[in-house]
Chains A and B, each alone.
Chain A
């Protein structure tokens, strides 16, 4: 243990580890100094000064998130003057903020609101000039409302430091400072990957998903349409949080029942298509291993990663699997196989998806994914949006009697469930690829090496004497590190999984806002959501995608076999380099490749 030092907080003596900030030390001692711009996973900006404390010997208050402790330091966190200073700061922010909490999307989920309440601010004093900006509604996925922005800079740091997308900056200065993409470009014309992580870290409603709930409600009320739903694995693992349930409560059955009550005629499960994806992807991988196509093969189900690939890594396009994402495969099968089975015109189907992801809204609109002149998925709503719809429809989500998804596109294996967490696609793919390649059954199907929240995970396995080296990255910043290794050492891996969001889909940009007293991107919360999916897997008798009888039937009746011509027509896609070109800064690429 390091040499402990002594500090005094509010005159009480504590022994603490050196080399940390006042805030970190205080956090561990049971204090919670108010804060705003600080986020434990981002660099320290020290911009808001909400976290001020008094340090003996310093004339001015210091920002506790940035100020290091030293031996003998005497700190005050709760004097009258401090409370007043913090309150003044928050009031100044409020004076430059629209006063429309009761109609705001983040009402009751807003950090600024909570902070103001905790400071006892109950009235506004000044009515000065407030900044005015147009909303940027250009993107299908992530919209921007700079009037709500309080310039904490978290989104800018997140998009740069965690995602390495560097789409945002604080442009201009002084009163005119505003968070924008380069050239004040609309989000739709920026390098934004639509991952939605800026929504998750924003304390207010300055970033939001584009809302499609009204469009979905009108479709649900249209008697001439056949309404078909699908929902992603991690929606069931997180939606409970929006109803006050503990993090990691699996609400699959309640979600299915609620979707039916909302008016869906058929409720399918994206996990079915996750199994289908594995059939195609594992087969494609084995083809590549045989020499037909480039290695390493990189997975393609994460929509934010798709956009990142086309702008930042066009040179790796041939390495990326041509498989559509489970959502898009499910959509395609809904409007072809299922429509034919029912004998209905696919244009009469409203295909809707409840996703943990904002980028899926972008994906659904990608022209590359169309077939027979149709989109596979017409409307995508996030976990947050579907939770709101359930509340708005007056359903008792928590106590509703659980139900099962419909057939033929509703049955899933355990492999389909773990798709929602980092490493899950790799694990599912290995379970199937091994069996297809060797003709034997893999016994140890829980592959620990690819589980967990380490940024980049590596593993290897032997199939009939052949060593297969795999790697998994989650969050685009980790992906970027891994891909730079691939650029320098293309033979290092055979198979790579990339998910655009930290933690994978469980940490998606469309998931419920963090509960009071937790922070966005919290590892403990991500782990609990992932555990819900791993438990689901363990609870199933069928745990390998190729054992899913629904998928087997689909091949028999419609697709013939993996990678068939029909499969290629409906389940595969292509990518192309797109503008604007994404630039990753030099210092992020200074990685040494160890042999």
Chain B
């Protein structure tokens, strides 16, 4: 990398750029993470006791999660729900991305992309809150369904995980659509035509030709969506009910309500491990490397 930069910008400038990049990675990413890990391995002490005999490294904070049934339940529920959000987002995004990449005329594609992007000019909290209104017990969605005679009485959408799912799919759809779009777009049209010409129907053409080609895009989109979902705070806080708490909310509580940063750090680190674990699994499953994803 240095050789490339040097060829383009000359030695001193290349050196300066790499130093800045390295500094940023160390100061903004690596050191804070290391400090988090350090925090998570120490007991929560009064300021006076820090550095005293009780101070020292211990795994107690991690053990807490495994002893606390409720927290453990929420941890795994967050995992499953995030996977579900990822799958739902993929199901919604794939046809959309395919339409944008291969079916729509350039004009239609531009219009459609604009309609997708414009809502994202609005703050995530407001966007999520609009779903809170739409899905409310006396909200417009229930009114419409009632008026159409599809339901007899209003449904409590926000009572459970459904609202959170809807909100998250909506919040993260672009992170799935764009990698998918890029992947599908790069597929030669003649591949699709050849498959059809050889007799393949729509489903098989997608299963054997389009989806295998789009694998890196699917992996990238899934990893991003999963990470955002697992680490989401606003959506579950606004659209979830007390019964559908997210693990991030527990972490938040440790930090800002329990005042136990050490415990919070341990939980946060576990969430990070979960995300990295998911990422490696997906990459293994789709047989793609980090290089394919960074494309």
Q: Does chain A bind chain B? A: no
